[in-house]
Every structure is written in C-alpha cells, then in structure tokens.
Amino acid sequence: MIIIELLVSLFIVYLVVLIIYLLGSKKRKYGDTYHCGERLIGNKVKYKVPWIYFASLLIAFDAAIVLIAITSLSLNIVTVIFLALITLSLFFIPKEKEGENDD
C-alpha cells in the first residue's frame, strides 16, 4: 500500500514539474561554448588518485550509517568498533605533494 502511495506521489510531482517545464519557452538554439574571451575546448577534467581514498572512505561511512540505522534499537559493541576503525582510517589518508592540488 505504501509503495503505491509513494509511486503515485512521485508520479504527481513529476507531472507538476513537467507542466511547469512545458509552460516555459520552447525556443532552443545551439551555439559555441562560452569562451570568456579565450579559446577553450570543452574537455573532461581528470580525477586525481587521492580522491579514490576519499571515495572508499565515503562508502565505509555510508555503510556505517546503514549499520547504525539497522541496529538502532540495539546498538552494540560491533558498531562502536566499526566506527572506531573507520575513524582511525582518517589518519592514513595519503598526503598530497606541494602544488599537486592547485586548480
């Protein structure tokens, strides 16, 4: 029942936003990239390796949140140890070299 309620609500909000969108101007034009006076080519930005460590930690913390959510009614020592371990992992983040992160 609740799933149907959620789906209907989602359908209604999408419908409302779609109506707002269709009320807007349909004029569309394709032009050059904004150059700000310089000649720039639209290319992808390269990711740096240290961000992978952060991304891994993000997953660990997100897992912790789910873990806490599930065990919210009976928080136990396993949760505390898990949290302590991922907090400790913060100290092992590789340091960046000078100037490596300059934009």
Partner 1 sequence: MIKIAMILIWILLSFIFALFYEWFDRKVYAHFQNRVGPQMAGYKGILQPLADFIKLLNKQSIFPKGSNTFLINFSAISSVALMFFILLFIPLYNLNAPLSLSGDLILLFGIGVFIDLLIIITGYSVACPYSNEGAARKAEMIISFEIPFGISIATIIAISKSITIKDSLLFQSLGIPLIIFMPLSFIAYIFSSIAKIEKAPFDAPIAESEIVAGWTTEISGRTLALFRLSFDLDMYFVASFGAILFLGGPALPYFNYPGLLFLNQTLNFVMFFIKTSLIVFLITMIRSITARYRIDQVINYFWKVIIPLAMLNLIIIIIFGMG
Q: With respect to partner 1, which residue has the nearer C-beta, 49 or 66? A: 66
Please tell me the distance from the alpha carbon of residue 83 to that of residue 65, in angstroms, as a whole number: 10
Distance CA 67, CA 82 (A): 9
Told to check if 55 binds partner 1 by CB under 8 A, we report yes
Distance separating alpha carbons of residues 96 and 49, to the nearest angstrom: 10
Residues 64-83 within binding reach of partner 1 (CB under 8 A):
64-66, 68-69, 72-73, 75-77, 79-80, 83
Structure tokens belonging to residue 14: 């999408």
For the four alpha carbons of 80, 81, 82 and 86, in that order, the dihedral sign comes to positive
The kind and range of the H/E element at 8 are helix 2-23
Assess 92 for contact with partner 1 (CB under 8 A). no
- Interface contacts to partner 1, rule CB under 8 A: 2, 5-6, 8-10, 12-14, 16-18, 20-21, 23-25, 27-34, 36, 40-45, 47, 51, 54-55, 57-58, 61-62, 64-66, 68-69, 72-73, 75-77, 79-80, 83-84, 87, 90, 93, 96, 101, 103
